[in-house]
Amino acid sequence: MSRVVATGIPHHITQRGNAQRPVFEDDTDRLVYLRLLGLNCESYDLAIVGYCLMPNHVHLVAIPGRDDSMKLALRHTHGRYATYLNGRQGATGHVWQGRFYSCPLDANHFWAALRYTEMNPVRAGMVADPAVYCWSSAASHCGRAGRSVPLHLTQKVWRDCWSARSWRDFLDASSAAEETLAIRTKTHSGRPLGTADFVDSLERTLRRTLAPERGGRPRKQVADAIQPVLAV
């Protein structure tokens, strides 16, 4: 389905490297990426609430201010970053695989997706504590003095609901397997993740059908299909 964009609503966004190859070789690469992301988010009205840079993919939780905010901010960030990385490596070709995946989130799944994003390095076995990972928003949200990065996080929406202590407790709480599967499945499909009322409201606002039709593959088959694409 064509991309679903709901202005003023949080979205989970992810994009992987082409053929799942690494997109970041070192901290210089990560800083260049975050600088480009920060500049383009400011230019195209995309508010970043949280992020995580993994070796071969990125996760963002963001709120678009315009219908084209995500498209333009990601297009220019990833396009310019690809030019930078290919130039640095003396390479040619695609750095990123296809288009990015995204889905709108209701209030509860907004926080679940942010937790999912910040817990990526823990699930991957890179760190035991998400707050010590330098390349995500977890350190900032947990009140830990981390590396200074050239990306402005939108803090008000987070601070209205959380403190460093309560967020740390939320990160420490185990995510249910169903929650993780729902985030991955909806992000891959592009359909909204939320209650029936939330989906109905978006359908009325956007004037399009967003709920999946009855039938289709069993959930386990869907999970198996998206695992190589969105795992971690």
Angle formed at CA 152 by CA 30 and CA 181, multiple of 5 degrees? 70
What is the spatial distance between Cα 93 and Cα 55, in angstroms, rounded to a whole number?
19
Residue 6 lies in a domain: no
Residue 39 lies in a domain: yes
Q: What pLDDT shows up at residue 222?
A: 47
Q: What CATH number is associated with residue 110? A: 3.30.70.1290
pLDDT per 10-residue tile (average), the chain, 232 residues: 94 97 97 98 98 98 98 98 97 94 98 98 97 96 85 94 97 91 97 97 96 62 51 64
Q: What pLDDT shows up at residue 174?
A: 77
Residue 2 lies in a domain: no
What is the spatial distance between Cα 18 and Cα 13, in angstroms, rounded to a whole number?
16
Q: What pLDDT shows up at residue 152?
A: 92
Residue 160 lies in a domain: yes
* Rg of the chain in Å (alpha carbons): 17
Q: What is the pLDDT of residues 97-108, one digit of tens each?
A: 989 999 999 999
Domain hosting 221: range is 11-230
Global confidence as pTM: 0.91
Q: What pLDDT shows up at residue 231?
A: 61
Q: How far is CA 222 from CA 186, 225, 229, in A?
A: 11, 5, 11
Q: What is the pLDDT of residues 19-35, one digit of tens each?
A: 999 999 999 999 999 99
Domain total of the chain: 1
Percent helix / strand / coil, the chain, rounded to 5: 50, 15, 40
Residue 3 lies in a domain: no
